[in-house]
Each structure stands twice: as C-alpha cells, then as structure tokens.
Amino acid sequence: MMNQFEDIQKLGKENVDVAVKTFGSVSMGAQAIAVETADFAKKSFEHSASALEKLVGAKSLDKAIEIQTDFVKSSYEAFVAQSSKIGELYANLAKEMVKPVEVAVAKTVAK
C-alpha cells in the first residue's frame, strides 16, 4: 500500500515538472513572438511615415503614384516575410510545448 502511494506521489511530481517546463517554453515562445511583432510594428510605422513624407513632397501626380506603388509593394513584401517569420516562431513554440509531454509519455510507456 505504501509503495502505491509513493508511486502516485512520484507521478504527481513528474506531472508538475512537465507542466512547469511546458509553461516555461510557452512563456519564452510567446515573448519572442511579442518582441518580433513589436519590432515589425515599429518598422512598419517608420516606413509609413517615410512614405508619407515622400508623398507630401511629390512634385507631380506621376511621382506620387510611383511613391505609393513602391510603398505598397515594399509593405506587402515586408508583411509576407513577417508572416513567414511569425509562422516559424509558432511552429517552434508548438514543438517546444510538446517535448516535455513526449518525454513524460515515453517514461510512462517504458514502465
């Protein structure tokens, strides 16, 4: 009877350890995503402000259209690159979240 209690207690401790490791992974991953998103927002704002300055200083309609076209093209390319980067961060986060659970399941199956 005492052996079973110790086994249950050990299992509970292992589950808490897995939860703590998983929380740590989620926290670090979420922080990386937040930092990346904030950096992108800052760069996007600066890029928009720069384009607006150029647009206000345009001497002709053709030049204004050229500035706007370049702005839209570069904004789209930056968005696609950022989306890819954020997607990779989320994929890495998912992998890190699963690792402690995989280890715990492997230990349980091995017993």
**Domain span at residue 53?**
2-101
Q: What is the pLDDT of residue 20?
A: 78
- Residues 6 or more apart in contact with residue 99 via CB below 8 angstroms: 21, 25
pLDDT tens digit at each of 111 positions of the chain: 567 667 667 667 777 777 777 787 788 889 999 999 999 999 999 999 999 999 999 999 999 999 999 999 999 999 999 999 999 999 999 888 888 777 777 777 776
CB 88 within 8 A of CB 32: no
Taking the model in full, what pTM does it have? 0.73
**For residue 26, what pLDDT is reported?**
82
Indicate the number of domains in the chain. Answer: 1
